[in-house]
């Protein structure tokens, strides 16, 4: 599979640190970020690379040559005039005869690209976006997708967004079928997001691939410093899903938000004190933060899937404003007891996902390659502890009961400060 890397950026925001270096050549721990990207691709079998270059193209071309020194084959397209971040694609369209990876050269990433491509091929779409949560969704472009991961909306920074939204951000990594480029472009400068990808939303042909792997823009001095620290402490490599992950599984009601019995109305949702700080610390710790929650209100006919999604959007929006995020949210909509007015009969079943069964944790473990023995399940009830034990996790109870848990605390923040930090 060909890889197209857009390496024409100047990096105006970070130029105060590197005034004479094109952004792709900015060093991360002594090695240009583009070289680190190419090395990661080569290790995974992606060796056929096209670099689109512009600003100080000569320095990039002199450094990498034809790529043989790095075990890859590189050819170049030189933008004599700026073509936007996608104009070059239409100039090299004849070279793109099958699905290809399209990446940015100005971000630090370490991603299992084979897993990403496998998802794309399984869904047979025109485009697959690599999406993830981040700690500043309020000023990021947001992707809205349905349960099948088909993209329905693309909210750019200037678009009006709803009051509550899912923290799902486009990371700038793509798998693209060249048919997506079969459109009339009347301008030399082409904006990839606004002119090519956003119009495909609601077509049923563009998907999102959600992943907690490391992808971080390094366009400002502050973000560059963070990337360097993350690389030095091993965070960048560790988050690649080829490596086993560790997670903190979080019950929702009574752990993240105030317990109100069956939460049926979005107005009832209120974060517990210290939760944003706790989850922010989890995000910084190397653990994944994954919610696993029983939601029988769906089977009872009291809350629809859409209403539950809106409740979870509120949770993610509030956390995002506090600089925290969740890597995944898994819920069980079932309930075993039948015969009640208004119930959804097909959801009134015995299942493996309703805690104390471990199904939600096992699904997350499969999705994110989680080592359950190195992970924790924290909640405020017996079912949470039993689910954690059934999955093979260490367990934490919020409260003062005894259900055989490994640790007892009185808040999520207490656990994080005691064990994680």
Catalytic residues: 251, 253
DSSP 134-201: -S-GGGS-EEEE-TT-BEEEEE-TTS---SS----EEEEEEEE-GGGG-S---SSS--IIIIIIGGGT
Collapse the DSSP code of 405 into the 3-class scheme (helix H, G, I; strand E, B; otherwise coil) and give the result.
coil
C-alpha of 53 from chain center: 28
Distance between start and end Cα atoms, the chain: 42
How many CA atoms lie within 13 Å of 243's alpha carbon, on the beta-carbon side? 17
CA nearest neighbour of 393 among 407, 372, 379, 378: 372
Backbone angles phi, psi at 372, to 5 degrees: -70, -30
Collapse the DSSP code of 382 into the 3-class scheme (helix H, G, I; strand E, B; otherwise coil) and give the result.
helix
Quote the strand ranges of 114-166, DSSP E: 127-132, 142-145, 151-155
Taking the CA atoms of 126, 363, 293 and 352 in sequence, report the sign of the dihedral they define.
positive
CA nearest neighbour of 299 among 268, 338, 261, 257: 338
Alpha carbon distance 146, 407 (integer Å): 37
Kindly report the number of other CB atoms within 10 A of residue 306's CB atom: 7
List helix spans (H) across 338-402.
Answer: 359-368, 382-391
Let me know: does 127 contact 200? Beta carbons within 8 Å.
yes
Angle between helices 382-391 and 359-368 (to 10 degrees): 50
Quote the strand ranges of 140-298, DSSP E: 142-145, 151-155, 169-176, 206-210, 214-217, 247-250, 288-294
Backbone angles phi, psi at 93, to 5 degrees: -55, -35
Let me know: does 39 contact 64? Beta carbons within 8 Å.
no
Alpha carbon distance 324, 316 (integer Å): 8
Collapse the DSSP code of 115 into the 3-class scheme (helix H, G, I; strand E, B; otherwise coil) and give the result.
helix
Alpha carbon distance 82, 93 (integer Å): 17
Quote the strand ranges of 295-392, DSSP E: 328-332, 376-379
């Amino acid at each position: 599979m060909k890889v197209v890397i857009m390496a024409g950026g100047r990096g105006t925001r970070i130029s105060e640190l590197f005034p004479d270096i094109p952004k792709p050549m900015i060093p991360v721990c002594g090695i240009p970020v583009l070289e680190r990207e190419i090395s990661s691709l080569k290790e995974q079998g992606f060796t056929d690379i096209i670099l689109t270059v512009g600003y100080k193209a000569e320095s990039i071309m002199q450094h990498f040559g034809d790529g043989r020194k790095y075990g890859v084959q590189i050819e170049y397209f030189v933008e004599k005039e700026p073509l936007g971040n996608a104009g070059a694609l239409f100039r090299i369209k004849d070279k793109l005869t099958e699905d290809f990876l399209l990446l940015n050269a100005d971000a630090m990433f370490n991603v299992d690209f084979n897993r990403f491509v496998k998802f794309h091929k399984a869904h047979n779409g025109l485009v697959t976006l690599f999406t993830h949560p981040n700690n500043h969704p309020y000023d990021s472009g947001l992707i809205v997708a349905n349960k099948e991961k088909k993209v329905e909306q693309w909210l750019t920074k200037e678009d009006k967004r709803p009051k509550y939204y899912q923290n799902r951000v486009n990371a700038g990594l793509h798998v693209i079928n060249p048919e997506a480029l079969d459109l009339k472009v009347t301008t030399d400068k082409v904006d990839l997001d606004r002119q090519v990808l956003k119009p495909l939303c609601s077509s049923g042909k563009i998907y999102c691939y959600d992943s907690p792997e490391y992808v971080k823009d390094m366009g400002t001095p502050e973000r560059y410093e963070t990337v360097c620290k993350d690389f030095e402490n091993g965070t960048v490599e560790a988050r690649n899903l080829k490596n086993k992950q560790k997670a903190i599984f979080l019950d929702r009601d009574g752990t993240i938000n105030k317990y109100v019995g069956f939460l049926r109305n979005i107005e009832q949702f209120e974060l517990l004190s210290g939760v944003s700080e706790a989850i922010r610390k989890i995000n910084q710790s190397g653990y994944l933060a994954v919610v696993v929650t029983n939601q029988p209100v769906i089977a009872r006919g009291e809350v629809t899937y859409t209403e539950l999604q809106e409740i979870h959007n509120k949770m993610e929006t509030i956390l995002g404003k506090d600089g925290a995020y969740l890597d995944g949210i898994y819920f069980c909509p079932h309930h075993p007891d039948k015969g009640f007015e208004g119930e959804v009969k097909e959801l009134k079943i015995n299942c493996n996902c309703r805690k104390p069964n471990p199904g939600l944790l096992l699904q997350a473990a499969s999705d994110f390659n989680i080592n359950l023995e190195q992970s924790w399940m924290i909640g405020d009830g017996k079912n949470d502890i039993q689910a954690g034990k059934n999955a093979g996790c260490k367990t934490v109870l919020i409260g003062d009961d005894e259900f055989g848990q490994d640790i007892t605390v009185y808040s999520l923040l207490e656990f994080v400060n005691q064990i994680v930090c």
